Structure formats: structure tokens, C-alpha cells
């Protein structure tokens, strides 16, 4: 975005890295300094399209294309009134037509196509669906409140979890200090060998570290239905170790009794003219690994199977 420039003062982001471009409902951008100069007398209009503007409606441009910012503003304004959900329609086709209508309105307003007629269309829709619009607004507001409550509860649970972890860490530090003081006292007043005392102390510490593992407190999210969803395991569980069995050993399949003579081998099929009555493989089939020997052998096996069978 270094090549972006303010259309009024022509300052670029390359020359002024701290340049902030701001956009309003019309979609045209101005730098922050030009916005302040524009409203120096209390009111102002866009230098490009002369649309009356408000200082409070300007915001920092997030996208490189200012028309994207304009479309976002228009879409938010339209969706405040066109707030029906899929369950408000009898069929999916009606819902898709409703979504298509919204996209047409947004497109017309973004590209200045029949703006007066489109605004009249929006006003007529607001009059015809006033009760449903208010009902959906209340529903959306209630869902936002529930989401905020869930996030606040999760924040409190996270703080409690961090406090518990901090408390356990402090207890572990205090325990280590007490153990070191006890070791120093034992080295000072005990009559035994110092090396044996140190070895015994190290072994006890190692055993204790294996047993005392800092518990992992799971993160819990509680939904409005009362269901709690845990994103962690309440107990420290290692990865299960799978015992490896013996290595696989190939065993040739058992050939069933065909109740007939044995078919010729592949060498005999090739040398004794069995392939004369079989279509030879072409280049494509040969490249894929196909040979005419195998289907010939299977045909002979099927023909000879059951010849010795007596009913």
C-alpha cells in the first residue's frame, strides 16, 4: 500500500509512512490531516463527489481498494433491515431469491444504479416487514448478549485457572525451599556420610517429581444451554504405548481342490501355442502391466475345474 496517496493533498504512504487514509460512506478516501481540515468549519463534503459528510462516520481504511470499504458500509446498512433467516421462508428457493435481492440492492447502491428507486424499494420493504424486522433485531441482540455472557464467563474461568496454576507453582517453590533447608540441617547436624545424604536426597527428589505432576486445569466454555465444553483434559494422560506384535510373514494361499486336471504352467502356455487363439495385448495395455498370458491361464483353470466331479 506504499503507492496509495491522498486525492486531496497528494501525500503518499511512501513519503509519509505514518499516513492514515480514512473513508466515509461515499467510498472516497482522505488522509487524516485533510479530514481535520475539511471539518475545520464544522461541516464538509467529499472533494470528489460533493456528498455531505459527517466527521463521526470517517474511519481508517483497512483495504487497499476504497470501494471495498464502501461496499462494507452499504452491506451493513442494508442487512440491518434485510435480516431474515432461512427459517423465515417456506422453501429454499424463496430464501435464495431473497439473498439475490439483497445482492442486487448492494450492487445498485455501490455503482450508483437507480439509487432513488433502490432506496424507495428499501423503504417499502421496511414498511411491509416492520414487525418481522424488529423481531429479528431483538433476536439478534439477544444472541449477542448471550455470546458476550459466554465470553465473560470464559474470561473469568481463565483468570481462575491462571490463579490456581500460580498458587500451585508458589507452593512448589516453597516446598523446594523447605527441602533445601532440611538438607542443610541434616548435613550440619547428622553424623552420617555427606555423600550418602546427598544421594538419598537426590533419589527422594527424583521419586517425588515422578509422582507429583502439576495438574492441568482444563479450559471450560459454558453455552447458553448449560452444556460445558472442556478444551483440555482434566488429568495428565500420556500417549498410550501400543505393543508391537510379530512381523508380518507372507504365506502362500491354499489352492483348493479343482476336481479336475492341473492347468498348464505359464511357460507351457507361451511355448505350446495356447496364445494363438487369444488376443494379444496392445502397447497401451502392455504399459499398464497387462499380458494375455494371465486371462488365458484363468480361462483354462475355469474350463478344467470340475471335470472329475461325480454326482
Mean pLDDT of 160-167: 90
How many domains does the structure of the chain reveal?
A: 3
Domain holding 25: CATH number?
Answer: 3.30.40.10
**Average pLDDT value for residue range 231-236:** 45
Band of pLDDT at residue 212, cut at 50, 70 and 90:
low
Residue 39 lies in a domain: yes
Domain presence at residue 184: yes
CA dihedral of residues 81, 84, 89, 94 (deg, nearest 10): 60
Given this model, what pLDDT does residue 286 score? 87
250 found inside a domain: no
Does this model's pTM top 0.85? My answer is: no
Is 173 a domain residue?
Answer: yes
For residues 65 and 23, give the distance between their C-alpha atoms in angstroms, rounded to a whole number: 11
What are the tens digits of pLDDT across the range 175-198?
888 888 888 877 777 777 778 878
Question: If you average pLDDT over residues 47-53, what whole number do you get?
Answer: 77
Note whether residue 290 is domain-resident: no
Read off the pLDDT of residues 61-86 as tens digits, 9 standing for 90 and up.
Answer: 777 676 787 788 888 888 888 888 88
21 touches 61 (CB < 8 A): yes
Bridge partners of residue 31, in order along the sequence: 21
12, β-bridge pairs: 5
Instruction: Give CA angle at 162 (158, 164), nearest 5°.
Output: 115
Distance, in Å, from the CA atom of 282 to the CA atom of 292, rounded to the nearest integer, reads 10
Q: Print the domain residue range for 174.
A: 158-212
The residues, ordered by sequence, that sit 6+ positions from 32 with a Cβ below 8 Å of its Cβ are 19, 20, 21, 22
Query: Given pLDDT bands bounded at 50, 70 and 90, which one contains residue 241?
Result: low
Whether residue 138 is predicted with pLDDT greater than 70 in this model: the reply is yes
The burial of 31, by beta-carbon neighbours within 10 Å (0-12 exposed, 13-18 middle, 19 or more buried), is given as buried
Residue 265, in any domain of the structure: no
C-alpha cell at 55: 466527521
Q: Which of 212, 236, 258 is the last residue of a domain?
A: 212
Judged against a pLDDT cut of 80, whether residue 109 lies above it is answered with yes
Give the pLDDT of residue 231.
46
CA separation for the pair 143, 152 (Å, rounded): 14
Tell me which residue of 132, 80, 130, 74 sits closest to 103, measured CA to CA: 74
- Classify burial at 53, counting beta carbons within 10 Å of its beta carbon; exposed 0-12, middle 13-18, buried 19 or more: buried
Conformational region of residue 67, where left means phi above 0, alpha means psi within -120 to 50, and beta covers everything else: alpha
For all residues of the chain together, what is the average pLDDT?
Answer: 79
> Is 32 part of any domain?
yes
Percent of the chain with pLDDT over 70: 86
Q: Is the predicted pLDDT of residue 233 greater than 50, yes or no?
A: no
**Residue 224 pLDDT greater than 60, yes or no:** no
Helix (H, G, I), strand (E, B) or coil at 23: strand
Amino acid at each position: 500500500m506504499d503507492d496509495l496517496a491522498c486525492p486531496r493533498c497528494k501525500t503518499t504512504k511512501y513519503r509519509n509512512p505514518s499516513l492514515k487514509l480514512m473513508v466515509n460512506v461515499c467510498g472516497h478516501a482522505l488522509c487524516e490531516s485533510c479530514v481535520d481540515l475539511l471539518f475545520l468549519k464544522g461541516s464538509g463534503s467529499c472533494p470528489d463527489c460533493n456528498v455531505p459528510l459527517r466527521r463521526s462516520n470517517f474511519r481508517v481504511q483497512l483495504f487497499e481498494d476504497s470501494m471495498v470499504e464502501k461496499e462494507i458500509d452499504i452491506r451493513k446498512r442494508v442487512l440491518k433491515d434485510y435480516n431474515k433467516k432461512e427459517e423465515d421462508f417456506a422453501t429454499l428457493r424463496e430464501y435464495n431469491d431473497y439473498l439475490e435481492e439483497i445482492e442486487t440492492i448492494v450492487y445498485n447502491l455501490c455503482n450508483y444504479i437507480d439509487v432513488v428507486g433502490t432506496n424507495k424499494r428499501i423503504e417499502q420493504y421496511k414498511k411491509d416487514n416492520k414487525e418481522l424486522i424488529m423481531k429479528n433485531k431483538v433476536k439478534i441482540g439477544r444472541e449477542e448478549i448471550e455470546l458476550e455472557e459466554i465470553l465473560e464467563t470464559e474470561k473469568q474461568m481463565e483468570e481462575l485457572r491462571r490463579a490456581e496454576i500460580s498458587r500451585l507453582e508458589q507452593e512448589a517453590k516453597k516446598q523446594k525451599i523447605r527441602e533445601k533447608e532440611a538438607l542443610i540441617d541434616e548435613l550440619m547436624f547428622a553424623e552420617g556420610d555427606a555423600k550418602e545424604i546427598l544421594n538419598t536426597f537426590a533419589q527422594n527428589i527424583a521419586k517425588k517429581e515422578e509422582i507429583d505432576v502439576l495438574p492441568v486445569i482444563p479450559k471450560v466454555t459454558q453455552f447458553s444451554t448449560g452444556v460445558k465444553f472442556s478444551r483440555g483434559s482434566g488429568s495428565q494422560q500420556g500417549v498410550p504405548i501400543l505393543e508391537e506384535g510379530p512381523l508380518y510373514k507372507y504365506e502362500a494361499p491354499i489352492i483348493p481342490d479343482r476336481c479336475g486336471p492341473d492347468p498348464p504352467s505359464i511357460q507351457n502356455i507361451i511355448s505350446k501355442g495356447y496364445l494363438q487363439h487369444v488376443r494379444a495385448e496392445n502397447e497401451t495395455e502392455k504399459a499398464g502391466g497387462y499380458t494375455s498370458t494371465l486371462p488365458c491361464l484363468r480361462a483354462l483353470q475355469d474350463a478344467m475345474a470340475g471335470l472329475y466331479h461325480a454326482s
